[in-house]
Amino acid sequence: MFFLLRMEKVHTKGKSAFVPGFASRLIIPLVCCFLATGCTSEPPPPNLIILFSDDAGYADFGFQGSADYKTPHLDALASSGARFTSGYVTASVCSPSRAGMLTGRYQQRFGHELNLPGVPDPSVPDSARGLPLSERTIADLLKDEGYATGLVGKWHLGLEDHFHPTNRGFDEFFGMRKGSGPYFSGNVNIIEQGMEAVPADSLTYLTDEFGDQAVDFIARHRNEPFFLFLSFTAPHTPMQAKKDYLAEELNRFETQVRAKNVAMTRSVDDNIGKVLATLDELGLRENTLVVFTNDNGGAMPYNGSLNAPLRGAKGTALEGGNRVPYLMSWPGVIPEGTLFVDPVSTLDIVPTFLSAAGGTLPGDRSYDGADLIPHLTGLDMTAPHDTLFWKMQWGAAVRTGDWKLVRTPSQETWLFDLSNDISESTNVASLHPEVVNRLTQSFEYWESTHPDPIWKINQAWHARTLERYDQDVVDSYVRK
């Protein structure tokens, strides 16, 4: 026996309420069944999927309000569950963002604060250039719960074999160890199936290959609980779109790079559509928890992305570096059409998935995320986080409630009230010295509890990052 409770839900200012204005449904199984009916079995654990795009702009999806980008499958996913308006990653570049998400721990806890060095660093041996082996990934934890685990796409957490996904909890891997690569057949020479190289001439367009491999993984594991991390490289550089898609987009934009970004994002949406359609065809959708998000803010100007209305871009501690599109869907559990405004983080994926799987977090280390399901179903009306932190060698930030303190690479201190200034356009530090002092102390204590980064960023990257704190410079990057 089920009771259908219709609710309209919105979260504001750390509090939550069910109010008119949102078409959402919540089905609460008050009584699953009676013993007299013979129904005594527990429901199977849900399948778990992370869908990840790479370097996409905050504004560059239909569900984010874009009229230029057609993303019907992601728009449908947004309507089917929750959209987080204050969704964050733990870093504004690829590798540390993945390290935080896949462990559920601030990557600063284990020294993976920065992107992997792009050139050899004699102070850091190759054997140490990756996600430390002391860390347990979400795949490790879910494998312990009896899940089949698979990674399709980008890894970027170490090139050495001991860092390989199949040595970090993933039963299966199809993708690249590196952070990026070409998309077209004949040039894609860095793809592996497990640890075996895949012939470049056997591949078509890489984004489509990733979608097909994800569909295959789901079909083969349909009769057991599975965890799939589908980690697209698009729309990361190099900017290589399918010719037919690009031809359709070129007439709509002034710059070719913007047209390529739209076409590449369309391919991502197509392949997410294939995954969702497969779940439907196999009767798995109702028992699958799906998350979509992006690894960091848009990589302006390199890939033609757009972060409006946010300030900054990839590499900064500003909203345009760390605030990302973020969706979560679980039919019958997460109410349809939920708009969740309290801050959440990709740190939350590990505890949310592990709890859904019926497991518990290991007690031998600290975790920084929250199980979001109680917050999304009205069982917990508080905000999931009091405070969130970010740090990348020079730039740093802390958010508490609607206050956000930014420490720029040039050691300036900026304070923003995000409740009325999502664009971080007005520094109010001089008006609220007590808030500056409180947040500074909070951040400095957090920072003091972590080791130094295992590797450092070179000065050239520092210079490029510093200029992205100047919004006039960032605005000059906008492609149309």
Domain with residue 446: its CATH number is 3.30.1120.10
Domains held by the chain: number:
2
11, 73, 112, 156: the active-site residue:
156
Q: Residue 218 is part of a domain; what is its CATH number?
A: 3.40.720.10
Same domain for 324 and 407, yes or no, is no
Residue at 465 is within a domain: no
Co-location of 370 and 407 in the same domain = no
For the chain, counts of helices (H) and of strands (E): 12, 20
pLDDT per residue as tens digits for the range 239-290: 999 999 999 999 999 999 999 999 999 999 999 999 999 999 999 999 999 9
- Residue 116 and residue 158: Cα distance in Å, rounded? 8
More confident residue, 28 or 294: 294
Q: What is residue 121's predicted lDDT score, i.e. its pLDDT?
A: 73
What are the pLDDT digits (tens) for 380-424? 999 999 999 999 988 999 999 999 999 999 999 999 999 999 999
Q: Omega before 235 cis (within 30°)?
A: yes
Residue 271 shares a structural domain with residue 400: no
Q: Is position 385 annotated as part of the catalytic site?
A: no
309 and 424 within one domain: no
Q: How far is CA 452 from the centre of its chain?
A: 25
Structural tokens at position 106 = 């601030």
Judge whether 39 counts as a catalytic residue. Answer: no
Asked, for residue 150, whether it belongs to a domain, the answer is yes
- Say yes or no: 446 and 378 in one domain: no
132 and 233 part of one domain? yes
Rounded distance between C-alpha atoms, residue 233 and residue 271, angstroms? 12
Residue 321 lies in a domain: yes
Q: Residues, the chain, total?
A: 480
**Given 11, 94, 236, 375, which residue is catalytic?**
94
Instruction: Reply yes or no on whether the pLDDT at 18 is more than 50.
Output: no
Considering the domain architecture, whether residues 311 and 165 belong to the same structural domain is answered as: yes
pLDDT tens for each residue of 51-80: 999 999 999 999 999 999 999 999 999 999
Same domain, 211 and 89: yes
Residue with tokens 């083969």: 220
Helices 256-281, 206-220: inter-axial angle, 10-degree rounding: 10
258, 219: one domain: yes
Buried/exposed code over 346-375 (b: 16+ C-beta within 10 A; e: otherwise): bbbbbbbbbbbbebebeeeeebbbbbbbeb
State the pLDDT at residue 120. 67
Q: What is the pLDDT of residue 269?
A: 98
Mean pLDDT over all residues of the chain?
91
pLDDT tens digit sequence for 149-194: 999 999 999 999 999 999 999 999 999 999 999 999 777 779 999 9
Indicate if 352 and 433 belong to the same structural domain.
no
Q: Which residues of 41-69 are buried (b: 16+ CB within 10 A; e: fewer)?
A: eeeebbbbbbbbbbbbbbbbbbbbebebb
Whether residues 210 and 355 fall in one domain: yes
User: Which has the higher per-residue pLDDT, 85 or 23?
Assistant: 85
Is 467 a domain residue?
A: no
> Mean per-residue pLDDT for 8-20?
37
Q: Are residues 298 and 425 in the same domain?
A: no
Residue partners of 99: CB distance under 8 A and separation at least 6: 90, 91, 107, 110, 112, 131, 135, 157
Residue 102 lies in a domain: yes
Domain that holds residue 414: 388-455
